């Protein structure tokens, strides 16, 4: 590109973002064109990143923010801008497209990201709001069994009447279960969520390590824990399974909203009948790794996840 001007300055427009350009100048008079000046290298600033909100999660102590670069060429780093509503902001620089940010419980934060190269920072990404009232995560759609469908808001799963052969399942789901995983909870603290169920649906809800075998049922191995509901002609049966074993428990009132309380530090996973504030069972385990929440339907029906809510006082007594 070449511009002819009569001034000692020039504005060059329509440059690509995050791209390097060489600039030089020549002078022209009636006798001809001068030799070129020394060439100057110039790097345009990057395009703003795009925060992947459906892949972000949070809890009372932290938030995990993920984004896409927004640039074809690599950038040098990213700046995550954090501002509590009504307070001053802070910044942190990270080299990759995700960042785990330490936060304070019970607050609301505005978070955005900029991409940075030698030319400077990009414009700010769209701002997202993060609340640290409770643990919040999305279901991972790429782990869903083919028989499952997910509501538009991403929090209700449906198992229809059709059945598909296991052999067609090429996703990352626990393919012997009609299951889906929630996002990994990578903060060692207390986490709580609730699941709305129907007493005509057989289900398994619980947690599993990321490396849980994909050819096993939830609770049937040493790397997953779950509460299971089984329908029989005479009664509703509930099991609390880990490594294929369940204690002999009898639940007389069918829970329609189940609270799940995970405490990494104490090594406990507890289940509650929310409507009755009734403790159902607690697993005791020193979790060696972070876990995924897990949700499975053993017959046609639906489950609805409720998260981002404050844990009741009885959940961590």
Instruction: Collect all residues with Cβ–Cβ distance below 8 Å to 294 and sequence separation of at least 6.
Output: 174, 179, 180, 181, 182, 204, 205, 206, 207, 208, 218, 224, 226
What is the residue whose two structure tokens read 């289940």? 271
Instruction: Collect all residues with Cβ–Cβ distance below 8 Å to 284 and sequence separation of at least 6.
Output: 267, 268
Which tens digits make up the pLDDT trace of 182-213?
Answer: 999 999 999 999 999 988 899 999 999 988 88
In terms of C-beta density within 10 A (0-12 exposed, 13-18 middle, 19 or more buried), how is residue 273 classed? Answer: middle
How much is the pTM? Answer: 0.86
Tell me the sheet residues that pair with 303: 157
The single-letter DSSP state of residue 204 is E
Which tens digits make up the pLDDT trace of 76-126?
Answer: 999 999 999 877 778 889 999 999 999 999 999 999 999 999 999 999 999
Q: Where are the domains of the chain?
A: 50-132, 139-306
- Which of left, alpha, beta for 298 (phi over 0: left; psi -120 to 50: alpha)? alpha
Which parts of the chain register pLDDT below 50? 164-173
Q: According to CATH, what is the number of the domain 50-132? A: 2.60.40.10
Quote the CATH superfamily of domain 139-306.
SPRY domain (2.60.120.920)
pLDDT score for 226:
97
Q: How far apart are CA 215 and CA 173, in angstroms?
A: 9
């Amino acid at each position: 590109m070449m511009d002819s001007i009569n001034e000692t300055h020039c504005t060059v427009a329509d440059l690509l973002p995050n791209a390097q350009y060489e600039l030089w100048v020549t002078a022209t008079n009636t006798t001809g064109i001068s030799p070129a000046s020394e060439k100057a290298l110039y790097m345009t600033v990057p395009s703003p990143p795009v925060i992947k909100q459906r892949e972000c999660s949070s809890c009372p102590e932290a938030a995990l923010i993920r984004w896409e670069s927004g640039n074809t060429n690599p950038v040098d780093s990213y700046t995550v801008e954090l501002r509590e509503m009504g307070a001053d902001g802070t910044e942190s620089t990270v080299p990759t497209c995700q960042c785990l940010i330490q936060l304070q419980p019970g607050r609301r934060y505005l978070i955005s990201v900029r991409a940075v190269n030698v030319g400077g920072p990009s414009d700010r990404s769209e701002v997202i709001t993060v609340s640290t009232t409770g643990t919040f995560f999305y279901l991972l759609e790429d782990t869903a069994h083919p028989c499952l469908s997910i509501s538009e808001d991403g929090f209700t799963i449906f198992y229809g009447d059709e059945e598909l052969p296991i052999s067609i399942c090429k996703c990352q789901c626990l393919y012997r279960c009609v299951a889906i995983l929630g996002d990994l909870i990578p903060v060692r603290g207390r986490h709580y969520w609730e699941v709305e169920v129907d007493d005509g649906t057989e289900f398994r809800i619980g947690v599993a390590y990321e490396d849980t075998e994909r050819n096993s049922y939830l609770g049937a191995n040493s790397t997953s824990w779950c509460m299971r509901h089984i329908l029989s002609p005479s009664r509703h049966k509930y099991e609390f399974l880990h490594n294929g074993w369940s204690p002999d428990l009898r639940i007389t009132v069918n829970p329609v909203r189940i609270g799940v309380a995970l405490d990494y530090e104490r090594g406990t996973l507890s289940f509650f009948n929310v409507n009755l504030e009734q403790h159902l069972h607690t697993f005791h385990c020193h979790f060696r790794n972070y876990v995924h929440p897990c949700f499975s339907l053993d017959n046609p029906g639906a489950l609805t996840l409720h998260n981002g809510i404050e844990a009741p006082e009885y959940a961590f007594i």
